[in-house]
Amino acid sequence: MGYKRAIPTHLECPFEPEYHCKDCDCKKRCFFNFLSPETLKRFKAERRMRLYKPHQLVFNEGDQPQGIFMLCVGEVKLVKADTHGRELTVSYLSCGDLVGDAPFWAGSPYCSSAETLRESVVCFLHRGLVECIEKAEPEFSRKSLQCVSMGLCRSMDRVVGMAFRSAEARLAAFILSLKLPPVPNSRLPCHLRPVYSRREIADNLGLSPETVIRGLSAFQRRRLIKVSGKSIDVQDRSGLETVASER
């Protein structure tokens, strides 16, 4: 991957308590928001929250999973490398998503590396804590299976899109997938709109940066979007949906 595996900063909560509890919607997006008070107490006592800098590895391809990660704040991409060192971004994950859960349940090494795109807060649950939650909470197994299944469906959609959809259609669908911040004008990291470089968009869609730049310019000329630096605002959603549906 080319990045040093520095030790991330340990912390208990990424925000001051009054802001975290009053303004943040992390609880709604958290995978573990269903825990009973008893299990939640152990969860809070034994979880390990870490602050990662941009482009820092959470785990390496080939490592043996020792637990499950959950992305609390920020963005992570999963990257697959071949024997020649060439890399392909296979998935992007955002707040509330589990990271590395499928290899953990399979009992196999990680099949990709996880790298943060921005400053991110990641929660780690060691194997003993995961097994405790699994025994205490019947909902946990169902939610875990649902999470793995949804990841598989997204991967299949991605493969089909790369094989059969035009570059413009892929780019339009990507722009439509960008979420608006849940709390307008908030400065909290988990409330900020995702912002991607042209290279990151290209890696996500299996395109060249030049193709992405031309596509964005074409959409802007057609007044489908407005581009300001890395920020992309949708001006004509129905028009963009028409482009995204084209083959």
Could you list the mean pLDDT of each consecutive 10-residue stretch along the chain, which spans 247 residues?
A: 50 46 58 86 89 91 94 87 79 86 94 90 93 92 88 80 86 83 58 75 85 94 90 90 86
Please tell me the predicted confidence (pLDDT) of residue 17: 42
The closest alpha carbon to 97, from 131, 42, 143, 156, belongs to: 143
Same domain, 53 and 140: yes
Please tell me the predicted confidence (pLDDT) of residue 103: 94
- The domain tally of the chain equals 2
Would you say residue 1 lies in a domain? no
How many CB atoms are closer than 10 A to CB 59?
22
Would you say residue 132 lies in a domain? yes
State the residue range of the domain holding 116: 9-163
Please tell me the predicted confidence (pLDDT) of residue 2: 45
Q: Where does 14-75 show beta strands of DSSP type E?
A: 48-52, 57-59, 67-73
The model's pTM:
0.72
Tokens 């299976």 belong to 145
| CATH number for 73 | 2.60.120.10
Would you say residue 218 lies in a domain? yes
At 115, which amino acid appears? E
User: Last residue of some domain: 110, 137, 163?
Assistant: 163
Same domain, 73 and 180: no
Half-sphere exposure of 162 (CA within 13 A, CB side): 15
Tokens 């990424």 belong to 14
Same domain, 177 and 138: no
Would you say residue 3 lies in a domain? no
Same domain, 109 and 199: no
Q: Where does 29-86 show beta strands of DSSP type E?
A: 48-52, 57-59, 67-73, 76-81
Would you say residue 197 lies in a domain? yes
Residues 122 and 71: beta-carbon distance below 8 Å: yes
Q: What is the dihedral of CA 240, 246, 167, 96, to 10 degrees?
A: 60
Per-residue CA distances from 33 to 86, 130, 183 (Å): 38, 15, 20
Same domain, 145 and 169: no
